[in-house]
Amino acid sequence: MKEDFKLKNIYDKYRENKNSHVYLVETNSITQAIEDIKKLIILINEDAESNIEPLILNESLPTLMIIGPKVQEILTEDIDRLIVMLQKIPVITKDNYFIIHNAEKLNKKSGNQMLKIIEEPETDMLGFFVCNSTDGIMPTISSRTQTISLIYDTEEIYEEDLISDAQNYLNELHDKASLIVNKKYIDKYKDIDQFKIFVECIISIQKKYINTQTNFDIIKKESLLLSKLYDLISKISGNCNINLLMDKFLIEVSRL
């Protein structure tokens, strides 16, 4: 785990039965935070009779649900499915587990549904609301969770070729990139996890670029692009059509 000392603290308190059952995780890399949380769940269940590690890593464990926004917000129907799962008694694992990423995208109805589960859990559970900033989290959820910060040194995980590709794609975006440019990078980063890292690298470069600017109008425009990039990465999942997703992204960016 990249943030081993923080997640180990959760693990130690869990073993002592002193853990908070729901955490609010603020991070600069949602993808890495999710992977580390999955490793924490594996560690918690290291004494399980069956080998559940592949199920957790592949996000196919019946007692683990990972959800995030699919359009502009986290869908109420996804929260409904999560609540049904959390009401079932866990069998394979010690608890039921959930990870809600880009949690600021919870609408008021879904947020209130989760609030009830947090306050009155029907089964043993351990949950994580993951976000880039806690500012957009519903205050009622924030006040009922324990906040931890997982900050990663993203410079170390990006290879030079990846950084070069990310910078070139950003340059193309600023020059009104065509759909052909999308295909070039989709073909190169075919694996969904690789493509996520590619987008995260773009986000990292864009954030640094914004920090170098002093003109308010430029900062405002570039921040809108950054917001679109965050929306993009929140929608990338194993069952999405990357080609359609990226084409839609490019169209939205062209309107900025």
All structural domains of the chain with their residue ranges: 4-152, 155-254
Provide the pLDDT for residue 47.
80
Provide the pLDDT for residue 40.
92
b (16+ CB within 10 A) / e for 55-66: bbeeeebebbbb
Provide the pLDDT for residue 2.
47
What fold is seen in the domain 4-152?
A: Rossmann fold (3.40.50)
User: Out of 79-93, 94-108, 144-158, which region has the weakest mean confidence (pLDDT)?
Assistant: 144-158
Q: Pick the closest to residue 253 from 150, 98, 230 (CA basis).
A: 230
Provide the pLDDT for residue 4.
64
Provide the pLDDT for residue 69.
85
Is 229 buried (19+), middle (13-18) or exposed (0-12) by CB count in 10 A?
A: buried
Quick one: what percent of the chain has pLDDT higher than 70? 93
Statement: residue 3 has pLDDT above 60: no
Backbone angles phi, psi at 9, to 5 degrees: -60, -40
Is 101 buried (19+), middle (13-18) or exposed (0-12) by CB count in 10 A?
A: buried
Asked whether 204 and 230 are in contact (CB, 8 A), the reply is no
Taking the whole predicted model, whether its pTM rises above 0.85 is answered as: no
Provide the pLDDT for residue 1.
44
64 falls in which pLDDT band (50, 70, 90)?
very high
| pLDDT tens digits for range 165-211 | 999 999 988 887 677 778 888 888 888 888 888 998 998 898 888 88
Statement: residue 240 has pLDDT above 90: no
Provide the pLDDT for residue 145.
92
